Amino acid sequence: MSVYTVHEPPLRASDSAPDPERFAFVRDGFSFWAFVVPALWMLWHRMWLVLLIYLVTAGGVEVVMYEAGAGTTNIVVQILISLLIGIEAGTLRRFTLARRGWKNVGVVGGANLEEAERRFFDAWVREAPSRRAGPTPRRPAVPPIMPTPQSPEVVGLFPQPGAER
């Protein structure tokens, strides 16, 4: 079962309610394509800042390893960087969406993306009337009820044996 975070886009000027067609479902877990071709994967998802950081980091590591004379070690380090990108792909997408103003509206699980979407939107439609009604009124804070000890010999909140209740 895969776990997805659901992100709602910012409202457009012509929209009065969020458009479910534009919601983004970001799978949590390893991304094969982000591991194999990280730069193309970042371009595909329009992650410009992440791509810039990746290119600067990978280029810097390449230069440092070349100057140090590490031939095959450079390849291993670049593979490890790609592995890190593959592992953190979901986090990088969530970071990019949050920077663009998208709201994280939930977490849903499913065997695949289609099942996760169905489960999320079933729950979303069920709670739609309460969402349209506005914020729920807050209940007044109730002070906690603290039991009073029945004798000075009682330690903590445990009643004394044989005491009346």
Beta bridge partners of residue 27, listed in sequence order: 4
Write down the pLDDT at residue 11: 87
Mean pLDDT of 12-16: 80
Query: Domain for residue 158, yes or no?
Result: no
Q: 4-13 burial string, b = 16+ CB within 10 Å, else e?
A: bbbbbbeeee
Query: Domain for residue 44, yes or no?
Result: yes
Is the pTM higher than 0.85? The answer reads no
CA–CA distance, 50 with 23 (Å, rounded to integer): 21
Write down the pLDDT at residue 164: 59
pLDDT tens for each residue of 138-161: 555 555 555 555 555 555 566 656
Write down the pLDDT at residue 165: 53
Query: Domain for residue 143, yes or no?
Result: no
Q: Report which residue type is found at 94.
A: R
Query: Domain for residue 124, yes or no?
Result: yes
pLDDT more than 70, % of the chain? 78
CA–CA distance, 58 with 66 (Å, rounded to integer): 12
Query: Domain for residue 147, yes or no?
Result: no
Q: How many domains does the chain have?
A: 1
Residues 6+ apart with CB under 8 A from 35: 82, 83, 85, 86, 89
Query: Domain for residue 146, yes or no?
Result: no
Residue 20 belongs to what domain range? Answer: 2-129
Query: Domain for residue 107, yes or no?
Result: yes
Query: Domain for residue 97, yes or no?
Result: yes
Q: Listing from the earlier edge strand, what are the strands of the sheet with 24-28? A: 24-28, 2-8, 103-110
Write down the pLDDT at residue 31: 95
pLDDT tens for each residue of 76-129: 999 999 999 999 999 999 999 999 999 999 999 999 999 999 999 999 888 876
